[in-house]
Structure 1
Amino acid sequence: MAGAVGSNHPLNATPQQQLQQHQQQRPNLAIAAAPSTGEQPIPYNWQATKTTVKERFTFMFNNEILSDVHFIVGKGIQTQRIPAHKFVLSVGSAVFYAMFNGGMATQSAEVELPDVEPAAFLALLRFLYSDEVQIGPETVMTTLYTAKKYAVPALESACVEFLKRNLSSDNAFMLLTQARLFDEPQLAALCLESIDKNTSEALSAEGFTDIDLETLCVVLERDTLGIKECKLFTAVVRWANAECHRQQMSPTPENKRLVLGHALKLIRFPLMSVEEFASGAAQSGILTDREVVSLFLHFTVNPKPTVEFPDNPRCCLTGKEQTIQRFLGIETRWGYSGTSDRIRFTVNRRIFVVGFGLFGSIHGPADYQVNIQIIHAEGGTILGQYDTGFSSDGSDSTFRVMFKEPIEITPNISYIACATLKGPDSHYGAKGMRKVVHESPNGGKVVFQFTYAAGNNNGTSVEDGQIPEIIFFT
């Protein structure tokens, strides 16, 4: 019959037979399809080895197969020529869609990207082709930049999450600068929080002196830095020295003041003790003679004259206020004759002491005047003190007396808690504990070790006496 199809016609063959006949008819297909760039031949029927769309698109990543655009990425000897596919890029990025399909679409087969790092661009393409995130410490910032440039928010979020997981006091300032540059407010807030909690360590890191002036001002404006103002000033002088070198200026006091600009007015010199100011900032040459004189007057006379620098405390306290009680019992009749009650202590982690709990009168309601201090046990330096008072109701409760500013306590260093009371006989603590372990609400334990403070002591010891409570934040 005319038009009949024979049994050997390809249409009567099974799919497997058709494929074999097709391969026999095109024995050199794999070689013919190979690109002319000297690369490996493209395997024939590679599609059959990929069971999902994701596998097929992943195979196309950084592959010359069907590529219809090439990117010349980077500059200088680092330049790479990377193949890509307009369709895949347009589906994954509005920027690429406009580049290839918009009214001003490029007709060029090559697109130059000198501002993008090759590794970051490959990370972007890998994500667009396969949903795979491949970033590391060395490439995360450039990949974040590239993800923002080409409007790929999912990859951008992955970069930010990576940075959050790897945030530490050592890199907080570097990441803060990048977060501000890339307009990542959530990451910037986490960096600032890390700086608040570990201010000394963050300021000691190499990245601190590399920040720009605007970022420095953002940090100095904060009320939550956990550091003494004299140490903060020392770090700022280090930054000014580095900035002078960057601007190829001699690091003279005059030039340091010049590069600091408005940042100098953000340092809270009134928070320093007169001794700290006299031995540090007053001799730095950065302040004018008029500023030095006005600050000395602020420290030494009453009423205090106004100064050009802020004096509101830096509240470096986070979380909840915590209190440890070092006595198990309470007794009566502890007298006062002008001598200080003292107890020596160490802690296992960094804390900020804000005050003490003290015992009050055994004779009914009474008022007390008290000077409280924290003293560095080895050098005898007074780290903080305050003259205050409290009213006792006659009960055996403790009564709070608070320092004007929090006092930083460093792990494994001996300190002396000191209270000099003026008032009637009071209750006192008994059955004292040499070691008190306190579970912190934000995780971890604070371990206090108490020992006798020798010297001019009104009698307080580990076993009994005053200063039953230490009030602190972690």
Structure 2
Amino acid sequence: MENIETVVRLADKYDVLKYVNVSTLFLKGQLTLDKMCWGYQLAVNLKNKDLIEFCEDKIEKRPKEVFATDAFKRCDKGILQRILELDLVCKEVDVFDACVTWAKYACEQDDLNAMQVENLRTQLGDCLQLIRFGLMKIEEFSKCYVLHKGLFTSEEFEDVMLSFTMKEYKPKMFNPRSRIHNVTWDNRNVMECLRKTNCPKPKKYIKLQEVTSFSANNHLMLGEIQTACTYIGSSEIVGSEVGVTITECEGLTCQSTVLPTVLYKGTSKVWFGYDMDRLKVTLPQPIRIKPQFMYEVRLVVRSPNGCYYYSDCRPIVEMKNGTNIQFHRHPNLGYDNLANGWISHLLFNKI
């Protein structure tokens, strides 16, 4: 890593495509979040589209972790501007706080007093207007305004407040565009992916760890996961904690050399003891599903004896608007998770 920047610049200078590609592949395998902004700046300077897209994807999905790195604080204003234009998966108030941190460091490098708000404004310049204040709650913006009084002009303050209070108002100074992750979930336009067939088939016991792998052919938002099972046992109702982890892999394979990105990790409660039990996991923030990516839902549960589900799941589910969900078999499992699975429903919105 200590030599790669020199090597890739040399390869780019003499247009040796083979070494450019090798260097890009090396960087994609070695770049960690703490160096992602450094790699992004290098990619932009070299106009390396492949590496630019790689870095942007990582920054979009893990912005809060990227914001906490020294590489982010040290990036130049042009890179900050590009980052602010990405579909960052975080709250807009986190974006604002990161910009203030960046501006304070820039002040220190220029021997300016970072406690003077006018110096922060000078460092941020037009980047401040790329923050989408309209996506904040009014309480969040009010706190930002009070903590950094003088950062906004009276016209800018009015522009933001009118965005909050007038439904039809279009901001004149700040970016009004929503980020993809902030698309409001619409219960009226839910597309239900029903994985189970209606045909009774041999019953399979729920395992300690259930894995469902799928991909989509359109851009979607995943909002809810449901399971269905049948319990044959005593009439006593038994509760169990379920660990839920959702990950994303680049490409339609689970054998990528790049570790999967964790998009969600949490726990839910399921109760066994009825004729048909269903676990509903409503995600606190819908997850962006992209074409040509593999997504994996992993459920960890200690179910009581006699708890099983029907097999013979659909390998492909066709939904409306030409959207298909394809399920995949995981090569490292001891059972066929393509034909069998506890997850019965996936609920989507189309972007």
State TM-score, norm by structure 1.
0.43
Partners of 2:127 and 2:275 in 1: CA distance:
51
Distance 1:221 1:448, change over 3 A: farther
**What's the offset of the Cα at 1:412?**
3.1
Residues 285-364 of structure 1: matches in 2 within 5 Å?
Answer: 285=149, 286-304=151-169, 306-316=171-181, 320-322=220-222, 323-326=224-227, 347-349=244-246
Structure 1 partner of 2:125:
261
Q: Does 1:154 align with 2:55?
A: no
1:155 positional shift = 2.4
The SS at the match of 2:265 is coil
| 2:102 aligned with 1:239 | yes
Measured at CA, do residues 346 and 166 of structure 1 come closer, stay the same or move farther in structure 2, by a change above 3 Å?
Answer: same
Compared CA separation, residues 229 and 345, structure 1 to 2 (3 A): farther
In the TM superposition, residue 272 of structure 1 has moved relative to its aligned partner by 0.5
CA RMSD of aligned residues (A): 3.7
The DSSP-based 3-state class of the residue aligned with 1:324 is: strand
State the one-letter code of the partner of 1:277.
F
Map Cα deviations across residues 227-276 of structure 1 (whole Å, 9 max, x no partner). 11111111111111111111211112111111111111111101111111
Residue 444 of structure 1 is matched in structure 2 by 296
Unaligned stretches of 5+ residues in structure 1 = 1-136, 330-343, 352-408, 416-428, 450-467
Match of 1:50 in 2: none
Cα 1:328–1:152 change in 2 (3 A) is closer
Residue type of the partner of 2:295?
G
Largest Rg, 1 or 2: 1
One-letter amino acid of the counterpart of residue 6, structure 2: T
Counterpart position of 2:80: 216
| Residue pair 1:237, 1:256 contacting (<8 A) in 2 also | yes
Cα separation, partners in 2 of 1:149 and 1:437, compared to 1, 3 Å = same
The number of equivalent residue pairs is 233
The structure, 1 or 2, with the larger RCO (C-alpha pairs under 8 Å, 6+ apart) is 2
Q: Does 2:22 match 1:170?
A: no
Q: Percent identity?
A: 25
Mark the CA change 1:313 to 1:303 in structure 2 (over 3 Å): closer, same or farther: closer
Alignment map for 1:49-198 (pairs within 5 Å): 137-198=1-62
Read off the aligned partner of 1:280 and give its amino acid letter: C
How far, CA to CA, are the matches of 1:295 and 1:345 in structure 2?
A: 42
Is 1:179–1:187's contact at 8 Å kept on the other side of the alignment? Answer: yes
Bigger mean CA offset, 307-316 vs 230-239: 307-316
Give 1:141 deviation, angstroms.
Answer: 0.7
Deviations 1:91-133 (A, max 9, x none): xxxxxxxxxxxxxxxxxxxxxxxxxxxxxxxxxxxxxxxxxxx
Could you tell me which runs of 5 or more consecutive residues in structure 2 were left unpaired when the two chains were aligned. Answer: 183-217, 231-240, 249-262, 284-288, 302-344
Question: Residue 362 of structure 1 corresponds to which residue in structure 2?
Answer: none
Cα distance, 1:303–1:259 mapped onto 2, change above 3 Å:
same
- In structure 2, the partner of 1:270 is 134
Confirm or deny: 8 A CA contact 2:129 2:173 kept in the other structure. Answer: yes
Structure 1 residues 278 and 433, CA gap change in structure 2 (3 angstroms): same
Q: State the Cα distance separating 1:302 from its structure 2 match.
A: 4.8
Given the superposition, is the C-alpha separation of residues 469 and 170 from structure 1 closer, same or farther in structure 2, using an over 3 Å criterion?
same
AA paired with 2:106? Answer: E
